[in-house]
Structure 1
Amino acid sequence: MLGSRLAQRFGSRTIYRDVSFAVQPGEVFVILGGSGCGKSTLLRQAIGLLPPAEGQVELFGENLYSVSSETRAALLRRVGVMFQSGALFGSMTLLENVMLPLEIHTGLPPAARRDVARLKLGLVGLADAAGRLPAEISGGMAKRAAIARALALDPPLLFLDEPSAGLDPVTSAGLDRLILDLRRDLGLTFVVVTHELASILAIADRCLMLDRAAQGVIATGDPRRLREESEVPMVRAFFRREAA
């Protein structure tokens, strides 16, 4: 995946400009920064929900916003997305939530859809919770169920929006471990939006840091090296949890 010279504006307000990055196959790439810097906006551009004011997004060798609608739909079927809230349908069981993309996008018969959905729930440790409703599970389980649904169509690329938000440290660490296990076992590529420092240091191969005041990128690279070596005040403050 590539982002090239991306910019986004809402009215006269510039969120960011000249943002470029490349995500390599098999890596965990984290988009980070303080509140209001444009992390989720950049994610929306990357998954086809928000055309950039400038620049282009390339998925699997294709410019996402210049191809036909049919080609774009095909590209996006190769991408899984977990939204910050989980976005599970409250009236459906976890099994039914995971089955939904299979029902919409495949011709599999119901029995096969159930088998695939059970497999995906098993991958995230929820095999025994398939019949539960979202209201009957914890926040951490809801995040895992949302990842299972994102995996339903076997995408090679997953986008996770604030996966650790609202979770206690132990549950958050378990989710970090799940991400790394899925990357190892399935060869997945992850793009993760987060500001959770512990998770960033635990899972990220590389990161891109946005800053609201700079209206763009202020750092890229291995977050562990940025923590130790960056001379940019805002980067040092973020990684060392210091007041700016």
Structure 2
Amino acid sequence: MGEVVLRVEDLAARFDGRTIFEHVSFEVRRGEVFVILGGSGSGKSTLLKRVIGLYPPAEGRVAILGEAMEGLSGEARNALLRRIGVMWQSGALFGSLTLAENVGVPLEQHTDLPPEARALVARAKLGLVGLADAAGRLPAEISGGMAKRAGIARAMALDPPILFLDEPSAGLDPITSAGLDALIKQLARDLGTTFVVVTHELQSILAIGDRCIMLDKAARGMIAEGDPRQLREESDNKVVRAFFRREVLD
């Protein structure tokens, strides 16, 4: 068992008095690919936004790399957030910047590297995701799969030990999705990076996930935790079984 790099305790999210989820607790260990899964409306992306501090939780605590988020403010909070990387669903690239310039944005904002060094780092990160030859292209000139890879490269710009990916396979064809899954596994293995991946794509979950939690809209919280392959075969929860076996609920 490796070091715990993310600890979530009794987290809850509410909007206008309506509970999205509550009593969510889990741990992520260094080097894992940890998946947050569930059906539409179960609160996966809402959970992600609270874990990384975009919004405060209604209840509960989050600790990243041993530091409690709720106890941090100002520069101490910013310093911790610089140690995580986030890729949003579409890649969220700046349309007027090349891929290399997109990857260079965090370097420009958070380091004192000169432009030449930033450009070298950006190209190196793009090389890690298979986009070395596309460094000079604009987002409009590349495919959706390439945009997601570029988003991962930008999330890696500051060498964070944890990467959060929001629906990385959404909207991709099966071959492109499989290639992205392979990339995530390779980066986790080669760099020792911890990945927390939000997705409902079953094939990706089974391909990349070391462990997972499952959220459920009706239950307003977690209904499963463990190895996704084991949950598929052994879970006695009918919702979990239906999800992993693509079955219709009675």
Query: How high is the TM-score relative to the length of structure 2?
Result: 0.97
SS at match of 1:218: strand
Question: Structure 1 residue aligned with 2:189, among 184, 187, 204?
Answer: 184
1:89 is matched with: 94
Residue identity opposite 2:59 in structure 1: E
Work out the percentage of aligned pairs sharing the same amino acid: 73
1:229 is matched with: 234
Q: Confirm or deny: 8 A CA contact 1:139 1:167 kept in the other structure.
A: yes
The alignment of Structure 1 onto Structure 2 pairs a total of residues equal to: 244
How many Å apart are 1:12 and its aligned residue? 1.6
How many Å apart are 1:191 and its aligned residue? 0.2
How many Å apart are 1:47 and its aligned residue? 1.1
1:75 is matched with: 80
Residue identity opposite 1:243 in structure 2: V
Greater Cα offset, 60-69 or 81-90 = 60-69
Are positions 1:161 and 2:166 aligned together? yes
Are positions 1:135 and 2:130 aligned together? no
1:54 is matched with: 59
Question: Structure 1 residue aligned with 2:19, among 14, 17, 21?
Answer: 14
How many Å apart are 1:68 and its aligned residue? 2.4
1:111 is matched with: 116
Counterparts of 1:12 and 1:147 in 2: how far apart (Å)? 35
Residue identity opposite 2:130 in structure 1: G
SS at match of 2:29: coil
2:244 is matched with: 239
Gaps of 5+ in 2: 1-5
- The two structures, once aligned, show a CA RMSD in angstroms of 0.5
Consecutive aligned runs of 4 or more in structure 1 exceeding 2 Å deviation:
none
SS at match of 2:164: strand
How many Å apart are 1:62 and its aligned residue? 1.0
Gaps of 5+ in 1: none
2:153 is matched with: 148
Offset from partner CA, 1:159-203 (integer Å, 9 cap, x none)? 000000000000000000000000111100000000000000000
Greater Cα offset, 61-70 or 176-185 = 61-70
Are positions 1:33 and 2:38 aligned together? yes
